[in-house]
A and B are shown apart, each in its own frame.
Chain A
Amino acid sequence: TQTVSQSDAHVTVFEGDSVELRCNYSYGGSIYLSWYIQHHGRGLQFLLKYYSGNPVVQGVNGFKAEFSKSDSSFHLRKASVHWSDSAVYFCAGCVGDNSKLIWGLGTSLVVNP
């Protein structure tokens, strides 16, 4: 069984801080991973994805994520957050390009001014 887990339900930082949102997966084979953002009262928006190749993936608005097979991780990072980055972030994965996405429970990021 494949799983995607996000260890932090809530993260609070100040504007200008760097942030890392953690995502770990369990699966023995190749896995495709992605991150989504959900602002309050809105649907989810795609941020970035990893298929293969360069383990560091650049997304929109300064977000990037790094895939690590040894750690079974795909953590999302941003060097300097803005108050508008306050949202819930979801990590998701699938084991084949046509298989169902498996979702983490989300991490709520609060950026204080």
Chain B
Amino acid sequence: GGIITQTPKFLIGQEGQKLTLKCQQNFNHDTMYWYRQDSGKGLRLIYYSITENDLQKGDLSEGYDASREKKSSFSLTVTSAQKNEMAVFLCASSRTGSNTEVFFGKGTRLTVV
């Protein structure tokens, strides 16, 4: 088994601030993802990475940067927080060739004041 650890669990930022969310996995998975979850809107893919130093834009990448510094870690930066950013950000990972079976962290809840 393995685990995905997201830090922090709760993040409060000010409008316009640059904020970074971190994610670590010990599954040894190649592919990692960042999703945004808004109430009633399901999951929207922000960025994903299929290997170390790789980055692929998802459907919601504008306003975000991401970095895959090493295989086990994947960070997400909100470049300029907006009040409508309040959401839960979920990090996930999967084995190459097994994208239907994805493992998730517990999420970071972002509040912008």
Contacts and interface: CB of A to CB of B under 8 A. Distances in A.
Given A97-B97, A100-B48, A100-B99, A43 B41 contact: no
Contacts of B98: 97
B100 A97 contact: yes
Contacts of B45: 100-101
B8 interface: no
B100 A43 contact: no
Interface stretch (A22-30, A62-70, A102-110): A102-110
A7 interface: no
Contacts, number: 60
Interface in A84-98: 90, 92-94, 97-98
A23 to B, nearest CB: 12
Contacts of B104: 36, 43-45
A49 B103 CA distance: 13
Nearest to A92: B100
Main secondary structure of the interface of B (DSSP, over half): loop
B63 interface: no
Contact of A101 (B41, B50, B99, B103): B99
A99 B90 CA distance: 19
Interface residues of A, number: 26
Nearest to A43: B104
- In this complex, the member of A51, A100, A104 whose beta carbon has the largest number of chain B beta carbons within 10 angstroms is A100
B58 interface: yes
Nearest to B103: A46
A100 B107 CA distance: 20
Interface of A: 9, 32-34, 36, 41-46, 49, 51, 90, 92-94, 97-101, 103-106
Interface of B: 4, 40-43, 45, 48, 50, 58, 90, 92, 96-107
13 contacts: A32-B100, A43-B90, A43-B104, A44-B102, A49-B100, A93-B100, A94-B100, A98-B50, A98-B97, A100-B45, A101-B99, A103-B43, A105-B42
